[in-house]
Amino acid sequence: MMSTRHIVILSTLCTLFSAYPERERVHDLMVRYPLIDGHNDLPLQLRRYHNNQLSQMDLHNLTKFSTDIGRLRVGHIQAQMFSVYVMCGAQEKDAVQLTLEQIDVVRRMCTEYQDFELVTSVQGLKNSAIKSKIACLISIEGGHSIGSSLPTLRMFYLLGVRSMTLTHNCNTPWAESSSRLYAVFQRENNSLTLFGQAVVEEMNRLGMIVDVSHASWDTALTVMKHSKAPVIFSHSSSYFICKHHRNVPDWLLRELKKSRGLIMVNLHSNFITCRDEANISHVADHFDHIREVIGAESIGIGGDYEGVQRFPQGLEDVSKYPHLIHELLQRNWTENELAGVLRRNFLRVFEEVERVRDQLRSNKPSEVQISSEEVQNPCRLDLRPKLRQSAISPTVFSNSNEQKNLFFLAIVLLLSSIFTG
């Protein structure tokens, strides 16, 4: 007869041995379907802590941050959407210049390090996976970066940008944010202006993914209805589970499903539990609920590492993604569903964005311009020639006082001629 001690030892050994096949299953799944992560703010931290001077750091090992090449490899991240975010305070100032500088650091980072490869297409993503490279996608975070200019948007596309969130924590002159942090460009019942619609149309024409994370729910809904291509929430979670304005309610998720879009679940603790603390189980609750509402085929992952400070226990950095996949397997998610969450769902959306681009190839670049009244930017020059008034005009007078003076002068001259005739 076995003693209690032997039973405990045997039970522990069984647990350990059973855990190995699960870990191998996760590893095998993520090797076959490595992750495409929808949002990472490493470029922001490179600017804050190193002034974008890549020569002063080694991206293989960044102990201050949650992201480096070593941990991206451990986390089985094959493609990373890097945000080129600039603060809302730069709106109407130097937002365009700062965005260019952030694009520059991502391009340098992803060309100077052999582990990385800058990609701009679905085929590029697939090719980089074959070469075991970490693909870099560039995403603008906040429409204020384009300075309300479609030509600027087009130039960003030429530099490699393939996605843009229409707002960040501030309204733009043409789209509404979910945040009320900045009291700028307040409007009533106009969450996406005519110029905002033109931005969406031009992004469709270019083949740029429209991202509605950070946008108000009304803006997101209007964009879904107006866009010819599917849109994404690159880093948002479920409002049903955590009632934070950055999360997405069920009714809007259903609209996203209708438009063939994608929600990439954010891992920030405050968006997961609406508190500072969370764990992997809480994160999995968001995945379970969204799957129940719109299906696993509409879900991805957008961790938001380096953009926020607090992450769930067990998901402290980018190397921990296998822990999340293990939890979802434990909750009876199928390998096919997880293959979609890890990469296939994003590839499907990106392919549809490129298909719409190809359909619109005959369309010329939009020449829609925003009015100066909408922009309200004193730093914006108007170079159009001014209409000059003639010095003497028999029919047009600049003001009523001049007309009165000339009238009285004519009376005086008439009377003078009568009495001196």
Catalytic residues: 39, 41, 141, 168, 214, 235, 304
- 117 forms beta bridges with 135
What are the backbone angles phi and psi of residue 265, rounded to the nearest 5°? Answer: -65, 130
User: Which residues are paired to 305 by β-bridges?
Assistant: 40, 308
Instruction: List, in order, residues 6 or more apart from 61 with CB less than 8 Å away.
Output: 68, 69, 70
C-alpha–C-alpha distance, residues 192 and 32, integer Å: 41
The span from the CA of 197 to the CA of 255, in Å, is: 18
How far, in Å, CA of 80 to CA of 83, rounded? 9
| Interstrand relation of 262-265 and 35-40 (parallel, antiparallel or unpaired) | unpaired
Rounded Cα distance, 176 and 194, in Å: 13
Cα torsion angle, 235, 239, 241, 246, sign: positive
The rounded distance, in Å, linking the Cα atoms of 247 and 265 is: 9
Q: How far is CA 274 from CA 216, 234, 265, in A?
A: 18, 19, 15
Q: Where are the beta strands (DSSP E) in 122-223?
A: 134-141, 161-165, 209-211
Q: Is the Cα dihedral 46, 47, 50, 54 positive or negative? A: positive
Distances 404 to 391, 397, 400, 411, 413 between C-alpha atoms, Å = 17, 10, 6, 11, 14
Chain-centre distance of CA 280, in angstroms?
A: 24
Query: For the CA atoms of 91, 271, 306, 37, what is the dihedral angle to 10 degrees?
Result: -100
| SS3 assignment, position 370 | coil
Give ∠ CA 209-354-336 in degrees, rounded to 5: 80
| Structure letter (DSSP) for residue 341 | I
Report the candidate in 45, 39, 143 with the shortest Cα–Cα distance to residue 90.
Answer: 143
